[in-house]
C-alpha cells in the first residue's frame, strides 16, 4: 500500500493553511535566474489535530502561522537551488523537524514567471506531500 493510501485526509482531517506566500529569490537552472532572481509563491498545508486549540483558544495548542512563515521565508530566500523540487523538499523537511505536532505537510512552490520560451501559463511549479512516518523511515 502506498503512503498516500494509508495517510489520507480521513487520518488527518484538520489542516493549517498558509497560501500565496510571495518571495523574491534566486533559484533556477538558468544562470540568469541565479543573477537576476524572480518571484516565487509558496503554499503549505499542515495536517495537525486542531481539536485542543479549537476548545482552548490557546496558541500553545496549535502551530504558529508566524513561525511557519518565517521558516518558509528562510528556506525560499536562503541558499539558491537549481530545482523547485529541492526548495519544496527542504521546506517540508524543516517544517516536520520544527513542529512535532505536524503529521503531514503539503508544499507547493511556483514560479509565476518561469522562463519557458513561447509558453503562456500562469506559473510552473511542484507540489510534494511528506508524512512524519516517512521522516522516521517508516512508510
Which residues are paired to 6 by β-bridges? none
Distance separating alpha carbons of residues 80 and 35, to the nearest angstrom: 10
As to burial, measured by CB atoms within 10 angstroms (0-12 exposed, 13-18 middle, 19+ buried), residue 21 is middle
From the candidates 7, 111, 130, 132, which is the catalytic residue? 111
Q: Which residue has the cell 529541492?
A: 86
Distance separating alpha carbons of residues 76 and 54, to the nearest angstrom: 31
- What's the residue count for the chain? 139
Bridging pattern class, strands 38-47 and 104-111: antiparallel
Q: For this structure, is 111 an active site residue?
A: yes
Catalytic residues, by residue number, are 111
Amino acid at each position: 500500500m502506498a503512503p498516500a493510501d494509508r495517510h489520507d485526509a480521513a487520518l488527518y482531517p484538520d489542516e493549517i493553511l498558509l497560501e500565496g506566500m510571495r518571495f523574491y529569490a534566486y533559484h533556477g537552472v538558468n544562470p540568469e535566474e541565479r543573477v537576476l532572481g524572480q518571484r516565487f509563491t509558496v503554499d503549505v498545508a499542515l495536517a495537525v489535530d486542531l481539536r485542543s486549540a479549537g476548545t482552548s483558544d490557546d496558541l500553545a495548542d496549535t502551530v504558529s502561522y508566524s513561525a511557519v512563515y518565517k521558516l518558509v521565508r528562510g528556506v525560499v530566500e536562503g541558499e539558491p537551488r537549481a530545482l523547485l523540487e529541492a526548495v519544496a523538499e527542504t521546506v517540508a523537511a524543516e517544517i516536520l523537524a520544527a513542529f512535532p505536532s505536524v503529521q503531514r505537510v503539503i508544499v507547493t512552490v511556483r514560479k509565476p514567471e518561469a522562463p519557458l520560451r513561447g509558453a503562456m501559463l500562469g506559473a510552473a511549479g511542484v507540489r510534494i506531500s511528506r508524512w512524519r512516518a516517512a521522516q522516521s523511515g517508516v512508510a
